[in-house]
Amino acid sequence: MALTSDTVYLEKRTPANPEFPGSVAAGVRVYRGSLLVRCKDGTFVLPQTKTPASPAVAVVGIADRGVDNTGASGLATAVGGSPASWPHKGCYAIPFDTAPDWSSYGKPVYAVDDNTVSLTQTPSGGTARLQVGTFAGIDEAGNAFTLIS
């Protein structure tokens, strides 16, 4: 289910990977913890957001803060006049649509929306999803982790 408020995921620390800030596209609201998709023009949208003017390129990380660029109140500082976010990479317990088991270790993980991932790239009758990362494992509490690198 798509986010309706900020969230924080359990995280496993990983070595540093390059992270680049950017502006949230006009008309988009991002919550802290949302999966961020970088568009061709460099702006961020959500996996479930369609932007024909600037196609989605890749899921690049987890939003570090909430940003409302829908014309309502801004929730973050501006970069170049637009509300900004900084996507974080790492190993996160993002909810899966179907719980994986260890046989899926290392397999690609795909974005369903900004708060759900899947081991299925193309749902029946749907369009291909963007890859988020790879399935990293399950901790002792049963949380499934996705490595975003």
DSSP assignment of the chain, as one string?
A: ---SS-----EE---------EEBPTT-EE-TT-EEEEETTS-EE-TT---TTS-EEEEEEEESS-EE-SSS---S-EETTEEEE-EEPEEE-PPBSS---GGGTT-EEEEEETTEEES-SS-TTSPPPPEEEEEEEE-TT--EEEEE-
Q: What pLDDT, in 10s, does the model give residues 65-119?
A: 888 888 765 444 444 455 688 899 999 999 999 999 999 999 999 999 999 999 9
Q: Is the pTM of this model over 0.85?
A: no
